[in-house]
């Protein structure tokens, strides 16, 4: 695909939003539904039910979306040129994984302005595992000139359930990619809207203050007592919804009625745990047990999802 | 003779798995061929990131014909038996069977079945799919539409195509036809992902390799390594520098490229303030690039060498620039760690208690880190408590060991207290392989004495059989304390290595103890030391654990000595002298002092090389055999008493008297020599027995009709047996 003239603000090499829109268009043209971010705090695009839950069950599924991801521990008060506690992931999920997924991925890089005759793109072993989601897969880190720009995973198991069929997941680190194609050393210097002069909006204009404030919140001010309570509440609510949604004995349909609301509570518990972890109030031994508690919720939600229409139950 | 070419083309295979996978492919296919009687002249396997390939030369076109005779029923047997015979042998009628006559059993039918040998092509078509389906990848996966069904093909990453041809050099080889999960075998492969992605038709190995080369794929990993190494050395040389060679990295990088292109980039000189090992660690681990050094000073240079997989249209400028950007970001991180670790920690007040407990000085950064490690309660092992508790134990033991190895106890204790302090540093958190080394650097910076700083690094040593053993007494004390604490701890909670399972590397720790002791000549009675240290753990019998642990160490010593070429039987003879527990108690003659054990072994070996030694051994054997036979009659220990010298004087033969006198002279001499740790002397004293022993067996009949004389002679022989036991158990010596 020929690039638009470089003066075009929507050119993926000129603006952050241009990059994002180019990826959306690219994957839309390949049959993906373009979703909007999930409206909850998550640590990675994988947590979006469009990935976690849709990866389960026999139904084909193709989706792409941007997901703001929160990693409270990675906050650096806006002082580190490439570490953020809030950043964007672009997520693609294709179920079943198509045979030419690697080529599709390379084509998407071309679309955002990476010249494959000039840049060294490599697939380097990186097996993915999410202990909290009870999920794992095999795949690679995708390197561009030695920089990791994406994660490429063939899901083998999610929520403790074998994937059948297997879904392919692509996760682009948007800020990193944008820094690369814009040739910028500091994330806050990224051109966000592609305009120049007074009209130019940088990534820093949009997010620097948020990074500073949320770093303070994550490390210093988040009320840990409240958070511990939130964790327990979410855990209890998740379990209650899972129980309440089960089909009654002898009912016509064996479907689960509340898998998605229950999963929301699982997401909530996971994020609260991340915050507590950032506050440093969870000891090494406790940490493991919290991860296990979230995983139990995820597994139960996955099991419930398989009893819904979306999960392939009749 | 025809050749086989097989290629399995897939998405990127992890570098660390490629070499083994190629070897596995070769072994599985050739084994299966040989099992069917299809022998071959040679086989070689290859791997690149995207393919496994195998060539087998000199296979037969078909297997050998098999002729089999199967015996059937007697002539005139009932019809059911005849029908069964025909069915089992595949004969149409009895006319096809031959009749053999046996004088006793009469005539019976025999079927001669001639099976033509299987076509090799057909055998390959069965073997290869089976090998693919059961391939021993460390981790494998499912993919695509097929993965909806259970039992779908697993491979390390999606498998895309299979090339399999078979044929002689003189003809066009044929495709061996088979299908695995929808992938049909063919004669097509693909070149480099970016330079030559199109299909390439292949005949045989001879054109396969050059076709791939033209398509920018170097098939042989060893050749890729040679190219990388040569080009990297040349680039370094041209810049007046020297490549820091790294076999592990080279092997990995060769598994990441099909067409290696070696480049050189640089970074700002200011980053060279960071310890060179940390620079190398980050560039190696995160970027898989080589580093360079100045041959004059040995210091790292501000250059790095990435190996790319692309002949870029700009000659690699963009690739080098991109790698440089990442390297700089990584080095910025490392510089930040290096700076942070040297500064004070926040919230020092909360560390006071830990500092007091461990005797740390909170004014110093490394002391603060140790206090933090203790405060955080980082667990060493669930049943063995925290790192803080472990450090306290090691410090106590190091202090006790110090005078034994000639170290200053205060320095040994100080070292032990700081030995684990680098674990919570940022640098070690990021690069665990730098543990010890960073501790040393930080210790030097805060003004610790040179031997303390060095010992912080060296206390982990030796890490393996080829690793250097520390010699500085402070290092020796702490290195021993570190390993012995681990061993005593795991013995206390009864988690010893079993069979092939040794998750805490306890065998390595024991070998480390042995090498530290022997190579430094450390004189150490292990039992009392380990018993005392065992008391620092609860819930076990520390004396019992100490004995068991020493037995384990002795076993490792045995293995070690044998590996060094010592005779198995001599090692046993020395080690098994008095394994009875009471005989090993502190202060007893059967010391578990490893240095003495080895000295004794060496003296014994030399002694047995002499004629005196060999003859004494022969004499010992005769005595032992007679005693064994007679003890069977009279009971164990029947001749344990000393012989009655009056009886020998009154009624004994002259040779009997001679042996009694020789024993009376040699035994105390040998014992005195052993007490003085003079094993050569002890052996020499025993050697003096030889003429008396020879004469005794020459002239004296042990089993005299007079029971009193017989018993007395046996008692004399028993004394001879006991005398030799002082140096070794001669009964275990072979040959």
Would the pLDDT of B597 be above 90?
Answer: no
Most confident of A201-210, B95-104, B491-500, B636-645: A201-210
- Which residues 6+ apart lie within 8 Å of A163 measured at CB? A55, A56, A95, A155, A156, A157, B142, B147
Specify whether the CB–CB gap between A207 and A16 falls below 8 A.
Answer: no
Would the pLDDT of B424 be above 80?
Answer: yes
Are residues B133 and B35 part of one domain?
Answer: yes
Are residues B627 and B726 part of one domain?
Answer: yes
Option in A97, A124, A145 nearest B322 (CB): A145
Structure tokens at B333: 């991180």
Q: Is residue B574 part of a domain?
A: yes
Contact B194 A283 (CB under 8 A): no
In this prediction, residue B231 has a pLDDT band, given cuts at 50, 70 and 90, of very high
Give the 3-state secondary structure of residue B41. coil
Map tokens 């829109």 to a residue: A21
Say how far apart CA B495 and CA B358 lie, in whole Å.
28
Are residues B157 and B57 part of one domain?
Answer: yes
**Which residues in chain A are closer than 8 Å to B319, comparing Cβ atoms?**
118-120, 145-146
Specify whether the CB–CB gap between B153 and B178 falls below 8 A.
Answer: no
Q: Does B306 touch chain A (CB under 8 A)?
A: yes
**Which residues in chain A are closer than 8 Å to B9, comparing Cβ atoms?**
none
Q: How far apart are the first and last CA of chain A?
A: 43
Contact A99 B160 (CB under 8 A): yes
Residue of A nearest to B378 (CA): A284
Residue B657 sits in a domain whose CATH number is: 1.10.730
Residue B161 sits in a domain whose CATH number is: 3.30.70
Q: How far is CA B595 from CA A237, B352, B516, B525, B586, in A?
A: 67, 43, 11, 10, 16
**pLDDT at site B63:** 86
Are residues B236 and B332 part of one domain?
Answer: yes
Map tokens 């809030």 to a residue: A86
Are residues B268 and B244 part of one domain?
Answer: yes
Are residues B253 and B198 part of one domain?
Answer: no
Say how far apart CA B14 and CA B255 lie, in whole Å.
8
The enclosing H or E element of B165 equals strand B159-167
Q: Does A276 touch chain B (CB under 8 A)?
A: no
From B147, B181, B214, the end of a domain falls on B214
- What's the CA dihedral at B400, B405, B408, B412 to 10 degrees? -60
Say how far apart CA A40 and CA A191 lie, in whole Å.
27
Q: What mean pLDDT comes out for the span B592-618?
A: 85
Map tokens 């392939």 to a residue: A312
Q: Is residue B667 part of a domain?
A: yes
- Which residues 6+ apart lie within 8 Å of B537 measured at CB? B384, B488, B489, B492, B493
Average per-residue pLDDT for chain B: 90
Are residues B123 and B111 part of one domain?
Answer: no
The enclosing H or E element of A143 equals strand A135-144
Specify whether the CB–CB gap between A307 and A255 falls below 8 A.
Answer: yes
- Residue A249's Cβ-count burial label (10 Å; 0-12, 13-18, 19+) is exposed
Contact B148 A138 (CB under 8 A): no
Q: Does B16 touch chain A (CB under 8 A)?
A: yes
- What's the CA dihedral at A71, A74, A76, A80 to 10 degrees? -110
How far does Cα B560 stand from its chain's mean position? 13
Tell me A252's DSSP state.
S
Burial letters for B576-593: b for 16+ Cβ neighbours within 10 Å, e otherwise? Answer: ebbeeeeebeeeeebbbb
Say how far apart CA A63 and CA A27 lie, in whole Å.
8
Q: Is residue B446 part of a domain?
A: no
A-facing residues of B in 246-285 (CB < 8 A) are 256-257
| B611-644 residue pLDDT tens | 888 888 888 898 888 988 888 888 888 888 888 8
**pLDDT at site A289:** 86
Are residues B569 and B502 part of one domain?
Answer: yes
Q: Give the CA diameter of chain A.
A: 69
* Strand residue runs (E) in B223-310: 242-243, 261-262, 265-266, 290-293, 300-305, 307-308
Structure tokens at B322: 């991109």
| B283-293 residue pLDDT tens | 998 899 999 99
Specify whether the CB–CB gap between A122 and A139 falls below 8 A.
Answer: no
Give the 3-state secondary structure of residue B167. strand
Tell me B348's DSSP state.
G
- Residue B265's Cβ-count burial label (10 Å; 0-12, 13-18, 19+) is buried
Q: How far apart are the first and last CA of chain B?
A: 52
- Region class of B378: left (phi > 0), else alpha (psi between -120 and 50), else beta: beta
**Which residues in chain A are closer than 8 Å to B304, comparing Cβ atoms?**
none
Q: Is residue B670 part of a domain?
A: yes
Would the pLDDT of B651 be above 90?
Answer: no
**pLDDT at site B580:** 40
| B130-182 residue pLDDT tens | 999 999 999 999 999 999 998 899 999 999 999 999 998 888 899 999 999 99
Q: Is the peptide bond before B531 cis (omega within 30 degrees of 0)?
A: no
Q: What mean pLDDT comes out for the span B367-382?
A: 87
Q: Is residue B589 part of a domain?
A: no
Q: Is residue B450 part of a domain?
A: no
Are residues B104 and B43 part of one domain?
Answer: no
**Which residues in chain B are closer than 8 Å to A285, comparing Cβ atoms?**
379
Q: Is residue B427 part of a domain?
A: no
Q: Does B157 touch chain A (CB under 8 A)?
A: yes
HEC readout, B317-335: HHHHHHHHHHHHHHHHHHH
Alpha helices in chain A (DSSP H): 16-29, 49-52, 101-111, 174-182, 203-216, 224-245, 259-278, 284-305
Q: Does B11 touch chain A (CB under 8 A)?
A: yes
What does pTM read for this prediction? 0.78
- Which residues 6+ apart lie within 8 Å of A28 measured at CB? A34, A64
Tell me A123's DSSP state.
E
Structural domain for B168, as ranges: 3-61+119-214
Say how far apart CA A85 and CA B530 lie, in whole Å.
50
Q: Does A285 touch chain B (CB under 8 A)?
A: yes
Q: Does B20 touch chain A (CB under 8 A)?
A: no
CB under 8 Å, gap of 24 or more: what pairs does B577-585 form? B577/B725, B577/B727, B577/B728, B577/B729, B578/B725, B581/B547, B584/B527, B584/B547, B584/B550, B585/B527
- Which residues 6+ apart lie within 8 Å of B482 measured at CB? B394, B416, B419, B459, B460
Q: Does A79 touch chain B (CB under 8 A)?
A: no
Are residues B386 and B322 part of one domain?
Answer: no
Structure tokens at B511: 């070998």
**pLDDT at site B84:** 87
Specify whether the CB–CB gap between B362 and B348 falls below 8 A.
Answer: yes
In this prediction, residue B735 has a pLDDT band, given cuts at 50, 70 and 90, of low
Tell me which residue of B160, B123, B133, B111 sits closest to B39, measured CA to CA.
B123
From B569, B584, B599, the end of a domain falls on B584
B-facing residues of A in 210-269 (CB < 8 A) are none
Query: How close A244 gets to chain B, by Cα (Å)?
Result: 30
- Which residues 6+ apart lie within 8 Å of B498 measured at CB? none
**pLDDT at site B708:** 87
Say how far apart CA B63 and CA A131 lie, in whole Å.
53
**ipTM associated with this complex:** 0.93
Say how far apart CA B369 and CA B218 lie, in whole Å.
49
Query: Average pLDDT of each block of 10 consecutive residues along chain A (314 residues)?
Result: 63 95 98 97 95 96 97 88 92 98 98 95 94 94 94 96 96 94 92 96 97 92 92 97 89 88 97 88 77 95 96 86
Please spell the DSSP secondary structure of A11-37, one letter per residue.
STTT-HHHHHHHHHHHHHHTT-EEEPP
From B550, B584, B618, the end of a domain falls on B584
Q: Does B145 touch chain A (CB under 8 A)?
A: yes
Are residues B173 and B138 part of one domain?
Answer: yes
Most confident of A63-67, B426-430, B679-683: A63-67
**pLDDT at site A70:** 93
| B1-41 residue pLDDT tens | 899 999 999 999 999 999 999 999 999 999 999 988 899 99
**pLDDT at site B701:** 86
| B561-583 residue pLDDT tens | 888 888 888 887 877 654 444 44
**pLDDT at site B5:** 97
**pLDDT at site B585:** 39
Specify whether the CB–CB gap between A41 and A47 falls below 8 A.
Answer: no
Tell me which residue of B378, B368, B376, B373 sits closest to B342, measured CA to CA.
B368
Option in B139, B149, B287 nearest A138 (CB): B139
Contact A118 B309 (CB under 8 A): no
- Which residues 6+ apart lie within 8 Å of A299 measured at CB? A134, A159, A160, A161
Say how far apart CA A89 and CA A44 lie, in whole Å.
7
**pLDDT at site B574:** 79
The enclosing H or E element of B599 equals helix B594-608
Contact B289 A146 (CB under 8 A): yes
- Which residues 6+ apart lie within 8 Å of B233 measured at CB? B243
Q: Is residue B348 part of a domain?
A: no
Are residues B686 and B546 part of one domain?
Answer: no
More confident residue, B633 or B520: B520
Say how far apart CA B44 and CA B30 lie, in whole Å.
10
Number of domains present in the structure of chain B? 5
Structure tokens at B367: 């002391």
């Amino acid at each position: 695909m020929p690039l638009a003239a470089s003066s075009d603000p929507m050119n993926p090499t000129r603006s952050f939003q241009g990059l994002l829109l180019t990826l959306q268009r690219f994957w839309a043209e390949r049959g993906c539904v373009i979703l909007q971010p999930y409206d909850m705090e998550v640590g990675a695009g994988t947590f979006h039910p469009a990935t976690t839950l849709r990866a389960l069950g026999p139904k084909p599924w193709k989706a792409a979306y941007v997901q703001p991801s929160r990693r409270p521990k990675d906050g650096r008060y806006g002082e580190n040129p490439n570490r953020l506690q809030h950043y964007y992931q672009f997520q693609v999920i294709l179920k079943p994984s198509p045979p030419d997924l690697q080529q599709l991925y390379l084509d998407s890089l071309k679309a955002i302005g990476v010249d494959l005759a000039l840049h060294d793109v490599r697939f380097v072993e990186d097996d993915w595992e999410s202990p909290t989601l009870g999920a794992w897969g095999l795949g690679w880190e995708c390197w561009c000139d030695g920089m990791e720009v994406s994660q490429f995973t063939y899901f083998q198991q999610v929520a403790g359930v074998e994937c059948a069929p297997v879904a392919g997941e692509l996760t682009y680190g948007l800020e990193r990619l944008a820094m690369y194609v814009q040739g910028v050393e500091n994330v806050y210097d990224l051109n966000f809207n592609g305009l120049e002069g007074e009209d130019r909006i940088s990534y820093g204009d949009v997010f620097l203050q948020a990074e500073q404030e949320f770093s303070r919140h994550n490390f210093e001010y988040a009320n840990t007592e409240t958070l511990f309570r939130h964790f327990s509440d979410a855990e209890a609510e998740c379990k209650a919804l899972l129980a309440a949604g089960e089909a009654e004995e002898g009912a016509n349909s064996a479907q689960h009625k509340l898998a998605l609301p229950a999963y929301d509570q699982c997401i909530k518990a996971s994020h609260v745990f991340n915050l507590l972890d950032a506050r440093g109030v969870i000891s090494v031994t406790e940490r493991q047990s919290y991860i296990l508690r979230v995983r139990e919720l995820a597994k139960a939600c996955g099991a419930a999802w398989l009893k819904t229409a979306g999960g392939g139950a009749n | 003779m025809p050749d086989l070419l097989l290629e399995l083309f897939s998405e990127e295979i992890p570098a660390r798995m490629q070499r083994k996978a190629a070897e596995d492919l070769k072994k599985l296919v050739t084994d299966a061929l040989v099992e069917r009687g299809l022998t071959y002249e040679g086989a070689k396997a290859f791997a690149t990131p995207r393919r496994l390939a195998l060539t087998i030369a000199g296979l037969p076109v078909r297997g050998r014909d098999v002729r089999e005779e199967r015996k059937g029923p007697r002539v005139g047997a009932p019809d059911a038996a005849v029908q069964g015979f025909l069915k089992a042998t595949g004969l149409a009628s009895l006319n096809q069977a031959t009749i053999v006559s046996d004088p006793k059993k009469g005539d019976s039918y025999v079927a001669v079945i001639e099976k033509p040998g299987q076509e090799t092509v057909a055998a390959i078509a069965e073997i290869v799919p089976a090998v693919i389906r059961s391939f021993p990848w460390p981790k494998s996966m499912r993919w695509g539409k097929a993965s909806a069904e259970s039992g779908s093909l697993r491979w390390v990453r999606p498998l895309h195509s299979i090339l399999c041809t078979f044929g002689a050099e003189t003809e066009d080889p044929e495709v061996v036809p088979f299908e695995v999960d929808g992938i049909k075998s063919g004669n097509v492969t693909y070149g480099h992902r970016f330079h030559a992605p199109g299909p390439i038709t292949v005949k045989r190995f001879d054109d396969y390799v050059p076709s791939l080369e033209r398509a920018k794929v170097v098939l042989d990993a060893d050749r890729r390594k040679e190219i990388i190494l040569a080009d990297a050395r040349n680039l370094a040389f041209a810049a007046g520098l020297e490549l820091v060679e790294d076999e592990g990295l080279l092997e990995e990088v060769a598994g990441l490229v099909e067409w290696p292109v070696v480049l050189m980039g640089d970074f700002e000189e200011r980053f060279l303030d960071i310890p060179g090992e940390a620079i190398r660690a980050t560039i190696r681990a995160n970027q898989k690039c080589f580093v360079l050094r100045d041959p004059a000073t040995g210091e790292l240079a501000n250059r790095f060498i990435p190996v790319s997989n692309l002949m870029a249209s700009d000659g690699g400028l963009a690739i080098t620039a991109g790698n440089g950007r990442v390297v700089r970001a990584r080095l910025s991180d490392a510089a930040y760690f290096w700076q942070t670790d040297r500064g004070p920690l926040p919230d020092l007040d909360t560390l006071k208690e830990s500092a007091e407990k461990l005797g740390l000085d909170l004014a110093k950064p490394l002391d603060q880190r140790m206090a933090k490690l203790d405060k955080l309660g980082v667990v060493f092992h669930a049943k063995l408590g925290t790192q803080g508790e472990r450090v306290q134990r090691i410090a106590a033991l190091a202090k006790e060991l110090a005078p034994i190895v000639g170290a200053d106890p205060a320095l040994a204790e100080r070292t032990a207290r700081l030995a684990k302090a680098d674990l919570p540093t940022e640098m070690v958190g990021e690069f665990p392989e730098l543990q010890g080394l960073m501790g040393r650097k930080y210790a030097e910076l805060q003004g610790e004495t040179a031997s303390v700083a060095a010992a912080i690094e060296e206390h982990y040593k030796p890490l393996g059989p080829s690793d250097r053993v520390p010699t500085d007494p402070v290092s020796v004390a702490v290195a021993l304390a570190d390993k012995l604490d681990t061993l005593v701890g795991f013995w206390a909670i009864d988690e010893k290595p079993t069979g092939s399972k040794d998750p805490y590397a306890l065998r390595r720790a024991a070998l480390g103890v042995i090498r530290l002791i022997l190579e430094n000549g450390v004189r150490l009675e292990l039992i009392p030391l380990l018993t005392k240290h065992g008391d620092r753990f609860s819930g076990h019998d520390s004396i019992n654990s100490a004995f068991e642990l020493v037995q384990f160490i002795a076993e490792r010593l045995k293995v070690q000595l044998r590996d060094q070429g010592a005779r198995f039987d001599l090692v046993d003879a020395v080690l098994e002298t008095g394994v009875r527990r009471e005989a090993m108690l502190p202060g007893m003659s059967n010391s578990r002092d490893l240095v003495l054990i080895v000295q004794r072994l060496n003296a014994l070996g030399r002694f047995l090389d002499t004629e005196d030694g060999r003859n004494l051994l022969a004499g010992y054997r005769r005595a032992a055999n007679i005693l064994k036979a007679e003890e069977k009659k009279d009971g164990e220990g029947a001749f344990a008493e000393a012989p009655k010298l009056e009886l020998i004087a009154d009624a004994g033969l002259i040779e009997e008297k001679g042996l009694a006198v020789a024993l009376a002279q040699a035994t105390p001499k040998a014992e005195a020599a052993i007490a003085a740790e003079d094993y050569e002397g002890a052996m020499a004293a025993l050697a003096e027995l030889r003429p008396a022993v020879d004469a005794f067996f020459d002239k004296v009949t042990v089993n005299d009709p007079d029971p009193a004389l017989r018993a007395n002679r046996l008692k004399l022989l028993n004394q001879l047996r006991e005398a030799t036991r002082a140096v070794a158990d001669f009964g275990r010596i072979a040959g």
